[in-house]
Homo-oligomer: A and B are copies of this chain.
Amino acid sequence: MNVSEAIRAKRSIRQFTDQPVPTAAVRAILDAGRRAQSSKNTQPWAFVVVRDRAALQALADCGPFAKHLAGAAVAVALLSPDPAERWSIPFDVGQAAAYMQLAAWELGIGSCLAAIYEMDKARAILGIPAGKGEATREWPARSRGDSRAPLRPYFYAALSFGYPAPGTAHAPRRGGRRALAEIVRWDKW
């Protein structure tokens, strides 16, 4: 599947079959996210793979738009330093998420982004140290093998993955996005 076709055809999938996603496919998806570019190559992300059904169901209760996590074959928690620290952090995590979702689509695997509203509850489910603080600033250093104090990553988004339930992977409806003429200006605002 070429890039433009994947971008054209991909849609959010919120209902999945019971078919497990092979570990090799999960690794391929993670690897796509790993390869994303980032500001000064800081790679301000970490991923927790969630396969336990009880954990998925608990995460699904961490926000009004996270319900689809309950039925995912596997989910990936997207962790980063405080996204409010600078715009490039969520921007970069967004790029990594886009790579993962496109790579999954090419493998026939659907996905959907879930916003995590109840961060401390979600952190507790995955055993992530709770609280906010300066420790998150050490993310890149620690990820490079530094043995400083444990990180307390921010956990505000997760991706559901799984094989699309029948009838859910059809082509996107027309009109789902604004037309180019509405969002593009040429040469001047």
Q: Which residues of A contact B (CB under 8 A)?
A: 1-4, 6-8, 12, 27-28, 30-32, 34-37, 39, 41, 43, 45-52, 55, 83-84, 87-95, 97-99, 101-103, 105-106, 113, 115, 123, 126-129, 143-145, 156-157, 172, 176-178, 180, 182-189
Given A2-B1, A36-B98, A41-B176, answer yes or no on A157-B91 (Cβ-Cβ < 8 Å): yes
A88 to B30, CA, bound (A): 21
A31 to B49, CA, bound (A): 32
**Inter-chain contact B8/A6, CB cutoff 8 Å:** no
Q: What are 20 A-to-B residue pairs whose CB atoms are below 8 Å?
A: A1-B2, A3-B103, A31-B180, A37-B101, A39-B115, A46-B183, A50-B187, A83-B91, A84-B84, A90-B90, A91-B97, A91-B157, A95-B98, A102-B102, A123-B189, A126-B189, A127-B188, A143-B178, A143-B183, A144-B178
Copy number in this complex? 2
Q: Which residues of B contact A186 (CB under 8 A)?
A: 48-49, 51
How many whole Å from A175's CB to the nearest CB in chain B? Answer: 11
**Inter-chain contact B95/A2, CB cutoff 8 Å:** no
Name which residue of chain B comes closest to A37, CB basis: B12
A101 to B96, CA, bound (A): 13
**Inter-chain contact B94/A48, CB cutoff 8 Å:** no
A83 to B88, CA, bound (A): 9
Q: Which residues of B contact A46 (CB under 8 A)?
A: 183-185
Q: Which residues of B contact A88 (CB under 8 A)?
A: 90, 115
**Inter-chain contact A43/B177, CB cutoff 8 Å:** yes
Q: Which residues of B contact A6 (CB under 8 A)?
A: 3
**Inter-chain contact B7/A102, CB cutoff 8 Å:** yes
Q: Which residues of B contact A83 (CB under 8 A)?
A: 87, 90-91
Q: Which residues of B contact A188 (CB under 8 A)?
A: 48, 126-127
